[in-house]
Structure 1
Amino acid sequence: MTTMKAVRCLGFGHQHRLETGIAVPKPKPGEILVRVDASGVCAADRAMWDGSGPWSLPFPFTPGHEFTGTVVELGEGADERHGVKVGDRAVAELNITYGNDFFRQRGLYHLADSMDVIGATLDGGWAEYMIYPADAVIHKVPENLSNAAACYTEPLANAIHGVERADIGFEDVVIVSGAGPIGMGMLQAARLKTPRKLILVNPGAAKRRLALTLGADMAFHPDDPELKTALADLTGGRGADVFLEASGQTQAFTLGLELLRKAGRLVVFGVYKKPVAVDLNIFGEFKELDIRGGHLAPFTYRTALDLMSRGLIDGDACVTHTYPLEAFEEALERRPEPDEVQIKIILDPQM
């Protein structure tokens, strides 16, 4: 275990390379070396691959910000610092913050002005081994979780944060827009809030069928006229109480504005590739809407692991495809076949 293989991103726009003979890193004080058991492929990774991402990053680096690993070596003091031992499985939160940052002091560490990000400014999980930094927030993986489910922790934690932002109540009619990794996580987490009705909106029929098994009461194509009819019947024509937007599609955002009742709550968690033109009078003059952003996963990784461990959220159902590290290009380029469920794709460096 002196050298390893890893995918290196040398720049945006198809500039990823699989490299071998890379020295396995040695953990410094407080750091943890893990064998990567699985690492996810995210929409952000695809944006780096196709060159559409808005970020400025220090190249080269190893991508992969969704990961789970088995501890193989501990830097000095890391066992006491993180509460793990060799042989434990663990995940690390992707954002690393430091010092007296304004937002960090206020419990908003996910919004810190200055941070490192595993899989971007620090080497991530598209490798056989990786370092969990000394300042990372690290969580042990419950024994009854598969590596696939553990790898789903990061997107699920994001989804849970979005659901918490929505303040869902017992009488609410809730719409989840989008059935990707975060949308399907939102659906399952929102179900645990026991709203009156939970509706998924997504174009793909196969995902709509899966959503009905994961907790949705109803599922509609966004263009299906029955969506508005059903919503009117449920709410006396008022509209939905909560709209969780996880698709990143501009038309989904505008649909949410249309379907929400007056004083409804819209949580925006999708990442959009182009601006959305809307009539601002909808926000104020006509509906007095409550628009809330959602970003990353503060204080929700532990919740994600716990809910999956207790069988309340099915992480394995959301991991649909696995590839070896050598096939990372195929994983990045993969698109679902007609009527196929494709949600989370992961890389297994041990394959």
Structure 2
Amino acid sequence: MAVKGTIPKTMKALVAYSKDDYRFEPEYPTPECGADDIIIKTEACGICAGDLKCSHGAAMFWGDDIQPSWVKPPFIPGHEFFGTVVQIGENVTDFQLGDRVAADQIVPCGKCRFCKDGHYWMCQPHDMFGFMYYTNGGMAEYVRYPKNAVVSKIPADMLMEQAVLIEPYGCSKHAVDRAEISNEDVVVISGAGTLGLGMVTYARMKNPKLLIVLDMQDNRLAKAKEFGADLILNPGKCDIDKEIKALTEGYGCDIYIEATGNPASVIQGLTIIRKLGTFVEFSVFSKETTVDWSIIGDRKELDIRGAHLSPYAYPFVIENMSKGNLKTDGIVTTTISLEDWERGFKLAGGAEGDLKVVIKFD
């Protein structure tokens, strides 16, 4: 088999052997390149809230008495990553050595009903980078992109601080698209972390009647204002229901996008949204949320929409980051080495007020 490019036999990697056993491995086997594969040298990998919740043992990843385990250890975490092509298999024709690339988090099977009808991000097997041993993620020096990976090229001159945000901003775009915002809508985005801010800068391009952002941290609200919010509100400092109702003649917001992963934000949204409104849920939750479902049906007849991953989003995100239409300044707040991953995970959990913490490779 002809393979172009060479890579070392071992690499530095963070490996999850179980929910209680994450280890930095200085000499882990590098991935092997098959005939249809691409091997990239990782430039950087962001630490996502999903990575943190997985490392904390959340049941949606590791299973419990109700649901089976989804992850397949030992695996290398990380899905917010990009890099440079350093090895390609003999059947690869669309990419060359030296290309900068990023891939969708999911690796679709191409055979299930969802893949066949174009909804590849809901692929039934649902293999994703950073959670399975056969689709290892970006917290390693090298990553293998298999044949079915959805790979996009990145401009050679794109800054690391932008390129590492392609995956989260793709998710932000999909969530906002699910809301179907018009220029007559009062839109509330709850949460101004990395994903929420990605939603803010993209929602601004939709030109809503009023774009309101909620967060408990004033520094994040200031960034939301910089990224295009018309109004910023801190739920810890004011009565959100009263404020939103005062702005909408007592009706409530037309659209509520939940991006915090906090059960209180869900209840808040159901309170402040108007009848016949649209509620979009994106977040990964670490615990269950209990609400009065009669609000959804009998009282308000709401449209409740989920948002998962970043389908068909990368080309748009890459183009509009490059043009400056999607703001990214100040999102990456800390870069660390892979060896310092434990501190990185702690910082990504908000220990010192960071937005996006990134593992950067030489």
- Is the TM-score greater than 0.5? yes
User: RMSD in angstroms over aligned alpha carbons?
Assistant: 1.6
| Counterpart in the other structure of 2:64 | none
- 1:225 counterpart (204, 222, 238): 238
| Counterpart in the other structure of 2:4 | none
| Counterpart in the other structure of 2:303 | 290
Q: Which amino acid aligns with 2:359?
A: L
| Counterpart in the other structure of 2:3 | none
Moved over 6 A (4+): none
Alignment pair present for 1:324 and 2:337: yes
| Counterpart in the other structure of 2:148 | 135
Q: Which string of whole-angstrom CA distances, capped at 9 and with x for unpartnered residues, describes residues 20-53 of structure 1?
A: 2223323111211111000111111111222124
Matches within 5 A, 1:158-237: 158-225=171-238, 227-237=240-250
Matches within 5 A, 1:115-154: 115-121=126-132, 122-154=135-167
- 2:83 counterpart (69, 76, 81): 69
CA contact (8 A) 1:44 1:53 kept: no
CA contact (8 A) 1:73 1:86 kept: yes
Give the secondary structure class of the aligned counterpart of 2:147.
Answer: coil
Q: Which amino acid aligns with 1:67?
A: F
Q: Which amino acid aligns with 2:37?
A: E
CA contact (8 A) 1:168 1:193 kept: yes
Shift of 1:219: 0.8
Q: Which string of whole-angstrom CA distances, capped at 9 and with x for unpartnered residues, describes residues 312-334 of structure 1?
A: 11234322211100001111112
Alignment pair present for 1:4 and 2:11: yes
Alignment pair present for 1:238 and 2:245: no
Alignment pair present for 1:16 and 2:29: no
Distance in 2, Cα, partners of 1:128 & 1:234: 51
Shift of 1:142: 2.0
Shift of 1:275: 2.1
Distance in 2, Cα, partners of 1:73 & 1:316: 32
Distance in 1, Cα, partners of 2:136 & 2:358: 17
Query: Does 282-291 or 46-55 show the bigger shift?
Result: 46-55
| Counterpart in the other structure of 1:110 | 121
Shift of 1:224: 3.4
Distance in 2, Cα, partners of 1:28 & 1:266: 44
Alignment pair present for 1:302 and 2:320: no
Q: Which string of whole-angstrom CA distances, capped at 9 and with x for unpartnered residues, describes residues 49-88 of structure 1?
A: 221242222211111111010111111122x1xx221111
Give the secondary structure class of the aligned counterpart of 2:87.
Answer: strand
CA contact (8 A) 1:32 1:74 kept: yes
Q: Which amino acid aligns with 1:172?
A: D
- The structure-2 alpha-carbon separation of the partners of 1:233 and 1:59, relative to structure 1 and needing over 3 Å to count, comes to same
| Counterpart in the other structure of 2:279 | 266
| Counterpart in the other structure of 2:357 | 345
Distance in 1, Cα, partners of 2:56 & 2:294: 36
| Counterpart in the other structure of 1:49 | 55
CA contact (8 A) 2:105 2:309 kept: no
Shift of 1:108: 1.2
| Counterpart in the other structure of 2:65 | none
Q: Which amino acid aligns with 2:57?
A: G
Query: Does 282-291 or 197-206 show the bigger shift?
Result: 282-291
TM-score by length of 1: 0.94
Q: Which runs of 5+ in 1 are unaligned?
A: none
TM-score by length of 2: 0.91
Alignment pair present for 1:30 and 2:44: no
Q: Which amino acid aligns with 1:61?
A: F
| Counterpart in the other structure of 2:107 | 96
Q: Which amino acid aligns with 1:209?
A: A
Q: Which amino acid aligns with 2:26?
A: T
Q: Which amino acid aligns with 1:299?
A: Y
In the comparison of the two structures, how many residue pairs are matched?
A: 344
Distance in 1, Cα, partners of 2:46 & 2:270: 32
Q: Which runs of 5+ in 2 are unaligned?
A: 1-6, 62-68
Q: Which string of whole-angstrom CA distances, capped at 9 and with x for unpartnered residues, describes residues 267-303 of structure 1?
A: 0111122222222221122211111111111111222
Q: Which amino acid aligns with 1:210?
A: K
CA contact (8 A) 2:194 2:356 kept: yes
Q: Which amino acid aligns with 1:288?
A: E
Distance in 2, Cα, partners of 1:166 & 1:312: 20
